[in-house]
Amino acid sequence: MAKSIDTKFMNLYKKSFINLKKIGIYGRCFQVIPIIIYCIILNYYYNLKKKNCTCSGNIKRYTLIILTIILVVLSLVVLIFGPINILRFMYSNFSSMTTAIFRSIILFTTIVYFLMTISYIDNLKMHKCECSLGKMSKLILYYSEVVIFFIFLAFVLTFVFLFVNLHNMQAKSLGI
């Protein structure tokens, strides 16, 4: 009787593990989306450069090209090695503080990139740059705004959960 319970448990465990692997595979597919979008953005900037668009050719465009390349490389690294493996490597080889600083730098760079992208496209709109405006600039603008919104939402939710946990810990220590 115990053997059949163990076999049922093992079969259930195997099915759960297979489902988890499938979810992981689907999650990895979603990691490709930002890479594709970054490549589209990079292509947009290079096309502006190719057109010799003088109204778009400033230091911001060159900075955005470099930052886009950095984000493509980072996204490819995450896709190839997986976020859990990268975090495992970082926490096993670096101190928690170094890892936190590195993650903060990446987050800060990402926020600056998307805010800079929004500013760049708004500036092109303001100067009515004909060679740079179109569907692609709208797509890039909307994508950047959505990413900034989700980063802001993540910050808000993080602080809400932090305060709720602090409140619960304080209530437990007071015996409430």
Per-residue pLDDT tens digits for 117-141: 999 999 888 888 887 778 888 899 9
Three-state secondary-structure class, residue 133: coil
The H-assigned helical ranges of 51-95 are 59-81, 83-93
d(CA 140, CA 147) in angstroms, rounded, equals 11
Beta carbons within 8 Å of 28's beta carbon, 6+ residues apart:
79, 82
pLDDT tens digits for 32-53? 888 999 999 999 988 888 888 7
For the chain, what percent of residues have pLDDT higher than 90? 30
pLDDT for res 10: 52
pLDDT for res 111: 92
Top pLDDT among 155 and 13 is at 155
Top pLDDT among 103 and 16 is at 103
Lookup: tokens for 149: 């919104």
pLDDT for res 69: 95
- Confidence grade of residue 169 (pLDDT, cut at 50, 70, 90): confident
| Region class of 69: left (phi > 0), else alpha (psi between -120 and 50), else beta | alpha
Residue 114 has pLDDT above 90, yes or no: yes
CB atoms within 10 A of CB 46: 13
d(CA 87, CA 26) in angstroms, rounded, equals 20
Nearest to 123 by CA among 135, 109, 143, 141: 141
Interior angle at CA 149, CA 147 and CA 153, nearest 5: 115
Annotated domain spans of the chain? 2-174
CB atoms within 10 A of CB 120: 22
